[in-house]
Every structure is written in structure tokens, then in C-alpha cells.
Amino acid sequence: MLKELFHNQELLKQALTLSHHGKSAPYERLEFLGDRVLGLIVADMLYHTFGKEKEGELARRFTGLVREETLAQIATQLNLGEMIITKEHELRTNRSILADVCEAVLGAMYLDSGLESVRAFMEPIWTPLLHMDKKAPKDAKSALQEWAQQHGHKLPVYTLIEKTGEEHAPQFVMQVEVVGMGQAIGQGTNKKTAEQTAAQNLLKQVNA
């Protein structure tokens, strides 16, 4: 169990306690720290695992391994949703919140027992994900940009259409347009995710 990995249970509690009605909470500072710890360890794992790949290929792998969807998936795997402390129970299944709490837990673990303990915790979880793609995957935005350039179109333009929801659980609607190719929209809990979804939807249109 996760609790057994912590000497200081208060740190874990802080990582799992959400803000209420927009108020700040300690988990946000731990999330900030955990994001950097996560990035360092994943980058180090990629560097030593794929010794022949160039920086661009490593960067594409890195993006997939630290993105919101991956972190939310891991949070679900660890049952973090059930452990989250909040009065707003619907947040336990919110993908953005799950991803944030996952990072907060890593930050708390780093403060509790150091970088190598976090690495030992992360490696069994992230290692299978490293090997899911034999070749470095291309994210939807990169793939769309390459498609547009290959077919003589201008670069994709992304526009914010709408932002809704509370500050702790926002929803963004982004539109992507490639002149002469078409438009598509996408939704997500942050702009980057919404842009990726929009790009993916436009690629589906042109490849249909």
C-alpha cells in the first residue's frame, strides 16, 4: 500500500487533500515539485533505455509518458481516486485532478525519502510504458503539422473557443484550422490537451 512507503504520513495526506471551492491547498505546491521530479526520472530512464535515439525522438516519448492521460491512468491504477480527500466527490474521477494528485504524491515521496526512493517506486510502473512503442510516437499536433507541410498548406492555427468549469476543474474547447484543409475542435482539461484532441480530430477528417 502507498501509505506503507511513507515515513511522514502528513506529507501523503497533504498530497491527497484537494482545495475546496477554489481555495489553495498544500497539494498544489507538492504537485509543482512532483512535476519536476517526474520529469527528471522519466528523462533519465529514456536517456539510458534508448541510447541510439536523437533528442527529438526522446522528446516525443517523454511527452507521452508525462502527459495528463498517462498520469491519470497511473493514478487510477494506484487507486488514488479513492484516497483523495475532498468534499466534492465528483473530483475523484476527474482526469486532470487525478494527474495532479499523482504528481503531488511523487513530490511528497521525494520530500519524505529522496529521489532514489521515488525512482524505485516509479520504475516498475513506467518501464512497461517505455516499451509500448517500438518507434518514438508522434503526437497529433506534430503529425498534423507534418501533414500540412507535406501537402503544401500553411501551418495549423489554434484558437481558444470556450473555457468553462471551476478553476480547479476547467474545460477548454480549442479549434484548429489549416487553410485549404479544414477545421476541427477538441476538448480537454487544459489547452494543450484540447489542442491535441482537435489536431487528432482534423487528422481523422482528412484521412477518412
Which member of 35, 112, 139, 195 is catalytic?
Answer: 35
- Kindly tell me the sign of the dihedral angle through the C-alpha atoms of 195, 200, 205, 207: positive
> 84 near 104, Cβ under 8 Å?
no
Which member of 31, 100, 103, 139 is catalytic?
Answer: 103
Cα dist. 175→67, 151, 159, 181, 206 in Å? 20, 20, 5, 13, 16
Single out the residue of 152, 137, 117 nearest to residue 37, CA to CA: 117
Unique residue bearing C-alpha cell 471551476? 166
Single out the residue of 137, 150, 131 nearest to residue 196, CA to CA: 137
- Helix, strand, coil % (nearest 5) of the chain? 60, 10, 25
Which of the 8 DSSP states describes residue 17?
B
State the Cα angle at 175 between 60 and 191, rounded to 5°.
50
Can 103 be counted among the known catalytic residues? yes
Q: Which three cell numbers stand for residue 203?
A: 487528422
Can 44 be counted among the known catalytic residues? no
E-state strands within 28-148: none
Catalytic residues: 35, 103
